[in-house]
């Protein structure tokens, strides 16, 4: 048989006791070693001695005198004609009845031109020697071009992809366009000019102003495309002085274009012609900035059988409608009796047959 032993409780587990003196000595020994870096502490900058403030205000240094610009003298041009914004689209014989801006505001800028601006033009100073001007132009042009030379220039500059091209719009031959032509003549013998809009009604007028004002010569003309030649003896270094216009001047006020009662008719007859024109079939439909080379001939042919003609200018614009009416009045000739809803009504006027019938 097993012998039972008496039960005794097990002794409690004791936790290890740390020696604090040993831990303290270990920590001291760790800091004494040179392997570990001490903690970083930024070094404060030494304070600079402060300067005593001076209550006295310092005087600002005197500014150095700026160099004075020498006064620019006004440009003097020997061109023998009056300077205008547009040469081909203005009639010097028609005097304006008023101005929208004071004539003292010159588009050439204040003090930049020795000519006085009158509101429509800057007249040439002194008398112009036409004989001397013609001789100088003949000298620059030199001998006339041969047919082979003309054909070569035309083949070189007449195409649409020509780099030497100037577009002539509704303003016609303008003053600044003359400077553009001379700039092209620096590197090219001829300049291609493509004309569109109202000036194409009278291409003869455009060609005459281009030759007179630039001094060149038209060597090619096809419908609305021109080639202007500078001349054999043209020297870009001795080109004429052309002062540029800085802005477009306001158009002056001219007399009324359409009268309430047409000359030679009564009020009832004028009203009847206007109604007849508005209800008639349009002779032509004009587009904006189009080619109007054949408009004058078409109107003349129509007046052989018709008394009143209507032109549809729906997409042209009111301003261009009036310009077209003015040119047709002088070129056909005829009488504009109505501008309404961008429609131009033209009356052929009193003919010889009408006068004999009245007698």
pLDDT in tens, the chain (359 residues): 445 555 555 555 544 444 544 444 444 444 444 444 445 455 555 555 555 555 555 555 555 555 555 557 788 888 999 999 999 999 998 899 999 988 888 999 998 999 999 999 999 988 888 899 999 999 999 999 999 999 999 999 988 888 889 999 999 999 999 999 999 999 999 999 999 999 999 999 999 999 999 999 999 999 999 999 999 999 999 999 999 999 999 999 998 889 999 988 999 999 999 999 999 999 999 999 999 999 999 999 999 999 999 999 988 988 999 999 999 999 999 999 999 989 999 999 987 666 555 55
DSSP letter at 202 equals G
Q: List helix spans (H) across 222-266.
A: none
CA distance 252 to 126: 26
pLDDT at 11: 55
Angle among Cα 107, 109, 115 to the nearest 5 degrees reads: 80
CA distance 204 to 252: 25
pLDDT at 126: 82
Tell me which residue of 263, 270, 269, 283 sits closest to 344, measured CA to CA.
Answer: 283
Tell me which residue of 316, 317, 338 sits closest to 329, measured CA to CA.
Answer: 338
CA distance 159 to 195: 14
Count other Cβ atoms within 10 Å, centred on residue 340: 12
Taking the CA atoms of residue 227, residue 231, residue 235 and residue 236 in that order, the dihedral angle to the nearest 10 degrees is -10
Domains annotated for the chain, with CATH where assigned, are 73-254 (3.30.110.60), 267-358 (3.30.110.60)
């Amino acid at each position: 048989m097993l012998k039972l032993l008496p039960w005794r409780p097990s002794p409690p587990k004791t936790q290890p006791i740390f020696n604090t003196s040993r831990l303290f000595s270990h920590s001291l020994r760790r800091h004494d070693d040179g392997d570990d870096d001490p903690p970083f502490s930024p070094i404060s900058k030494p304070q600079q001695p402060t300067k005593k403030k001076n209550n006295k205000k310092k005087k600002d240094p005197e500014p150095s005198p700026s160099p004075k610009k020498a006064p620019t003298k006004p440009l003097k041009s020997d061109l023998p004609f009056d300077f205008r914004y547009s040469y081909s689209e203005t009639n010097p014989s028609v005097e304006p009845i008023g101005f929208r801006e004071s004539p003292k505001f010159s588009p050439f800028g204040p003090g930049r031109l020795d000519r006085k601006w009158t509101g429509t033009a800057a007249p040439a100073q002194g008398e112009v020697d036409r004989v001397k001007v013609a001789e100088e132009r003949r000298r620059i042009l030199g001998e006339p071009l041969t047919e082979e030379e003309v054909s070569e220039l035309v083949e070189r500059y007449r195409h649409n992809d020509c780099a030497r091209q100037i577009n002539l719009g509704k303003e016609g031959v303008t003053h600044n366009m003359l400077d553009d032509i001379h700039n092209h003549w620096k590197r090219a013998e001829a300049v291609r000019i493509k004309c569109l809009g109202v000036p194409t009604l009278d291409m003869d007028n455009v060609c005459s102003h281009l030759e007179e004002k630039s001094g060149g010569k038209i060597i090619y003309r096809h419908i609305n495309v021109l080639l202007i030649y500078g001349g054999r003896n043209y020297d870009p270094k001795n080109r004429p002085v052309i002062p540029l216009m800085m802005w477009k001047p306001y158009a002056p006020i001219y007399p009324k274009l359409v009268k309430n009662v047409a000359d030679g008719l009564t009020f009832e007859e004028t009203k009847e012609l206007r109604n007849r024109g508005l209800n008639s079939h349009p002779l032509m439909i004009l587009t904006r900035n189009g080619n109007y080379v054949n408009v004058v001939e078409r109107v003349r042919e129509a007046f052989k059988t018709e008394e009143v003609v209507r032109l549809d200018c729906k997409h042209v614009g009111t301003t261009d409608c009036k310009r077209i009416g003015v040119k047709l009045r002088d070129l056909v000739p005829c009488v504009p009796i109505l501008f309404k809803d961008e429609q131009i009504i033209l009356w052929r006027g009193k003919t010889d047959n009408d006068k004999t019938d009245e007698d």
